[in-house]
Every structure is written in C-alpha cells, then in structure tokens.
Amino acid sequence: MASSALTHALFSPLTSHSPISNRTLLTPSLALPRKQFGSPVLSTHSNLTHKAFIVNCTPPEKESTNQELPIELRYPAFPTVMDINQIREILPHRFPFLLVDRVIEYKAGESAVAIKNVTINDNFFPGHFPDRPIMPGVLMIEAMAQVGGLVMLQPEVGGSKDNFFFAGIDKVRFRKPVIAGDTLVMKMTLTKLQKRFGIAKMEGKAYVGGEVVCEGEFLMAMG
C-alpha cells in the first residue's frame, strides 16, 4: 500500500489532489532521505527552491580573414600641424640650434606639442659621449623652451620673435636618458601670463615611448 502511494505520488501529474503539489520542482533529481522510506529512492520533486544555472556558450572566434597589415601601415606617423618650414617662420633659431622638427598639436594661446627626432648625426653626440651617445639635458631644456616659444610668439599671446627670451627654469628633473634613435615628444603649457610685466610661466614635459624623461617649470620674458 505504501509503495503504491509513493509510486502514484512520484509519477502522477502535479494537481491539487497530489500529496506533493505544494512542493517546488527541482532539476536534476535528488535522493530523498533514507530513514523516511527505508531505502534510497530517486525523486523528481523536492521542497527546495528552484535554481537556474546559466552556461555562457560563446561560439569560437572566427579566424581573421584579413591578411596581416603591411609594414607601412602598422605604425602610424605623427600628424603634422606645423612642418619645419612653418617652424622656421616663427622661431629665429637655425642650425645647429633649432631643436624642433615638427608640431603635432597646437592650441592657440594655451599649449603646443612638438617632436625632436634624435639621431646619431646630431652634432653634440661626438662629444656627449663618444662611447655612449646621450642627448645633453640642457639641450632637452632648450628644445622644450623652443616649443614654448611657438606658443608665446603667436598673435594670440601678443608676442613676436623680436621680443621673446628664455628667462629661467625651476623644478627640473631628468628621469631617463635620451639616446640616438629616440623621438622626443615635448609638451609646453601656458599656466600664467602677465602682459603688463611681459612675464609668462609655462609647464613642460618631455616623453620618449610614453614615459616622462624630463619635466620642469619655465619662465619666459617678453620685451
């Protein structure tokens, strides 16, 4: 009798007349306790709360059908906002002391970003140093000051190449050496301008490969 009632309860539809209709369906099957029925019985019903297990099945990535990019397209070139000819029209410096090759970003009256391509043919390398070519720190500072000059000598600031001078530096730090083959990326930002006294203060940072190699505060004088 008990076995027949159990069979009816386990395999009959869940209705209001079923003795286990108030229980929650759980998948997969669980074993009911041994002491209640005397032997382990697999049941498709339990009073436990139903839980859903979601498996994220992501299809394998499709193999790229694009051929490998040619070498000339893998490494994008720096943009050109001012080329060397435009730079020469603004700065009074000439060889061997013009240390800015290209302006890649410019915000009138605010900031400029320029590059200096450091090559073994630079005239300072034979003496600094013959066995280990390193760009002199003072020339990095000079190059950054020239980038600052590209900001200060524009009409937005009110300067001209006839009345601009490098007045001083402060808090200068050299983080890493710059060697032949590096591209020095320099950013100069105008932080304070006193037109009445002809004084401007700028912050500068120079990078190689995304790392800071030099930084400092610059004082410019106009007049």
Read off the tokens for 84.
Answer: 């060397």
Distance CA 184, CA 207 (A): 6
> For residue 29, what are the contacts with CB-CB under 8 A and spacing of at least 6?
42, 43, 44
Asked if 128 is an active-site residue, the reply is yes
**Of the candidates 54, 69, 180, 52, which has an alpha carbon nearest to the alpha carbon of residue 126?**
180
Among the listed residues 8, 17, 50, 128, the single catalytic one is 128
What SS3 class is residue 93?
A: coil
| Model pLDDT, residue 205 | 98
From first to last of its 223 residues, what are the pLDDT tens digits of the chain?
444 444 444 444 444 444 444 444 444 444 444 444 444 444 444 454 555 555 555 555 555 545 688 988 888 889 999 999 999 999 989 999 999 999 999 998 899 999 999 999 999 999 999 999 999 999 999 999 999 999 988 876 655 555 678 889 999 999 999 999 999 999 999 999 888 888 899 999 999 999 999 999 999 987 6
- Measure the CA–CA gap between 4 and 164, rounded to whole angstroms: 106
Task: Name residue, tokens 């900001």.
Answer: 151
pLDDT of residue 38: 45
Name the fold adopted by 74-222.
Answer: Thiol Ester Dehydrase; Chain A (3.10.129)
Question: How many C-beta atoms surround the C-beta of residue 213 within 10 A?
Answer: 22
Distance of CA 54 to the CA centre of its chain: 35
Question: Cβ(24)–Cβ(48) under 8 Å?
Answer: yes
CATH 3.10.129.10 domain range(s) in the chain = 74-222
